[in-house]
Amino acid sequence: MTIPNPDLIYPRTGDPQIVYLKNVVDDPGIDVGEFTIYNDFVHDPRDFPRGNVLYHYPINHDRLVIGKFCSIACGAKFLFNSANHTLRSLSTYTFPLFYEAWGQTPDPARAWDNKGDIIIGNDVWIGYEAAILAGVTIGDGAVIGTRALVTRDVPPYTIVGGVPARPIRKRFSEADIEALLALKWWDWPPEKLRPALEAIQSGDLPALLSMA
């Protein structure tokens, strides 16, 4: 039985546009699960931490957490809290960043509103040039449409699209979604998952449940 190697950078022979994202991330503020892929046909996909995770400054201690078996399309962006010029002030100008020039006490983080981490579940598909904002949680099995702007949480197995992103439909019935969330097939070891691929790919949930 063929079992994939999760430690590879390039999972497809001769294809330098797709990487196992976990193996190219060198930022301690980014946590990626096994077998999650990123495709980039414009830039080197190994540059994901610098080219796609934006305004992610160590001073803020915010995190990007991405689950297992996610598919992230070219140009998807994750915009963190330092992009959020504060609305608590009477001005959106970033005076706290220039504390030296204005003779203020150093406190650069006052320049933005902190909305929290970005959390991406397992088996999530993020479409071409979609943008995910700080503080958003995307549930397992969700689909984010092309160039969607995700400003709020997305429930599991929900397809969203648009600017701002809105729910389009659920992928499955509520009963099937509950069963999939309880099953957590993405946590199965590869040797157990390999024989289950036909059931997964053919949409045969009863067969998959029988293998649990």
Three-state SS sequence of 143-202: EECCCCEECCCECCCEEEECCCCEEEEECCCHHHHHHHHHHCHHHCCHHHHHHHHHHHHC
pLDDT for position 96: 93
- Determine the topology of domain 18-84+116-171 in CATH: UDP N-Acetylglucosamine Acyltransferase; domain 1 (2.160.10)
Residues marked as catalytic: 85
Residue type, 206: P
Task: Render the burial of 65-78: b for 16+ CB within 10 Å, e for the rest.
Answer: ebbbbbbbbbbbbb
Tokens of 23: 């193996």
pLDDT for position 25: 97
pLDDT for position 191: 94
pLDDT in tens, 167-182: 999 999 999 999 999 9
Return residue ranges of the chain for CATH 2.160.10.10: 18-84+116-171
Which residue is associated with the tokens 């503080």? 135
**Which residues of the chain register pLDDT less than 50?**
none
pLDDT for position 3: 84
pTM of the model: 0.95
